[in-house]
Amino acid sequence: MPDSPNAFDPQRLAALRSAVETGTFEAAARELRVTPSAISQRIKSLESETGRVLLQRSKPVVPTESGEVLLRLARQVDALGREASNVLGRVGGASGATPGAAQAPPSLERLPIAVNADSLATWLLPALAPLAGEIAFDLHRADEAHTTDLLSRGAVTAAITADPVPVQGCTSALLGEMRYTPMASPDFVERWFTGGARNSGGVLAHAPVVVFDRADRLQERYLRGVGVDPAGPPCHFVPSSADFVRAIRLGFGWGLVPDLQGGDDASLVEIDPGASISVPLFWQQWQLHTEALGRTASAVFAAAARSL
């Protein structure tokens, strides 16, 4: 095995990265403008160097645990290379580019970020919008409790997460807290909670509840907090932030709505006045610095300070 990251052939790393991102050796070959056999040979050589199987040859190809380690390195090498190319493109015209030669515009640096659905639906996109002409954002939606899984696998450069413990090779800093309030439509409240959610004869154990997806534990946390078995009430699963709130407005059930979405919504009312759940959010990112990552982090922290 190589003694240092510098010993890994950049072309072999690029083949690994492209195969994972495009899904097949054939697509990777098109992206890198080589033959599929060249992609296969480069990855086999990388596996020989490391003594590890790096990819599952499925469709799409999937990195193994060892492959995820080198995938993160491959993406870091790619990010640094793109940044260097863009910097050279900016300084070339001012310091000696060939006279009369057409200058290709700098390519957008691709920046993959894992983000929870509620941040994506509320405050994050306006934060990133001013940078969208210079950075190609690749947003991966996942529950805030699971976004660091993508970071640890090397699938993303940064993540908005509920986990304060930094992934190896990353930093972690608090962004703020998202506050959620249990809410329902007025008609649903009249039908189920005439005396309030906690004072309606144990009705919370039977009242339908709207849940984002099977990784969403917020409604479960609230029910356990008021002494109700979360396995009791029927659940509607609505895996879209906008449609989740819409389903509650339409009377499917009650649910925990982000204050950023439901705070001023007259079509929603609190089922348990004063009750709420706050979820701390952290920004984790590679310790490796690039200009695009640094500018994005600054924009995210500024928006979080205004919104959370």
Residue 1 confidence (pLDDT):
57
Residue 104 confidence (pLDDT):
53
What is the DSSP-derived secondary structure letter of residue 229?
-
What is the DSSP-derived secondary structure letter of residue 167?
P
Residue 264 confidence (pLDDT):
77
Is 201 inside any structural domain? yes
What digits encode the pLDDT tens for the residues 211-233?
A: 999 999 999 999 999 999 999 99
The neighbour count for residue 87, using CB atoms within 10 Å, is 12
Residue 87 confidence (pLDDT):
74
Is 30 inside any structural domain? yes
- For residue 72, the domain's CATH number is 1.10.10.10
Residue 181 confidence (pLDDT):
96
Residues of the chain with pLDDT under 70: 1-6, 90-107, 200-201
Q: Pick from 68, 85, 102: which residue ends a domain?
A: 85
Q: Report how far residue 109's alpha carbon sits from residue 205's, in angstroms, rounded to the nearest whole number.
A: 50
Is 37 inside any structural domain? yes
Q: Is 234 exposed, middle or buried (0-12, 13-18, 19+ CB in 10 A)?
A: exposed
The answer to whether 60 and 23 have CB atoms below 8 angstroms apart is yes
Q: Report how far residue 108's alpha carbon sits from residue 133's, in angstroms, rounded to the nearest whole number.
A: 8
Is 68 inside any structural domain? yes
Sign of CA dihedral 153, 159, 163, 169: positive
Q: CA–CA distance from 105 to each of 31, 82, 86, 92, 201 (Å)?
A: 19, 12, 8, 11, 67
Q: Report how far residue 308's alpha carbon sits from residue 299's, in angstroms, rounded to the nearest whole number.
A: 14
The answer to whether 20 and 54 have CB atoms below 8 angstroms apart is no
What is the span of the domain harbouring residue 48?
A: 1-85
Split into its structural domains, the chain has a count of 2
Q: Report how far residue 20's alpha carbon sits from residue 69's, in angstroms, rounded to the nearest whole number.
A: 13
> Is the preceding omega at residue 186 within 30 degrees of 0, hence cis?
no
Residue 95 confidence (pLDDT):
52
The answer to whether 282 and 174 have CB atoms below 8 angstroms apart is yes
Residue 235 confidence (pLDDT):
97
Is 105 inside any structural domain? no
Phi, psi of 178 (to 5 degrees): -95, 130
Q: Pick from 29, 53, 85: which residue ends a domain?
A: 85
Residue 108 confidence (pLDDT):
78
Q: Pick from 33, 51, 85: which residue ends a domain?
A: 85
Q: Is 110 exposed, middle or buried (0-12, 13-18, 19+ CB in 10 A)?
A: middle
Is 109 inside any structural domain? no
What digits encode the pLDDT tens for the residues 230-260?
A: 999 999 999 999 999 999 999 999 999 999 9
As a whole-number percent, the residues of the chain with pLDDT over 90 amount to: 75
Is 115 inside any structural domain? no
Token pair listed for 303: 């928006």
Is 119 inside any structural domain? no
The answer to whether 63 and 54 have CB atoms below 8 angstroms apart is yes
Residue 83 confidence (pLDDT):
79
Residue 265 confidence (pLDDT):
84
Residue 105 confidence (pLDDT):
57
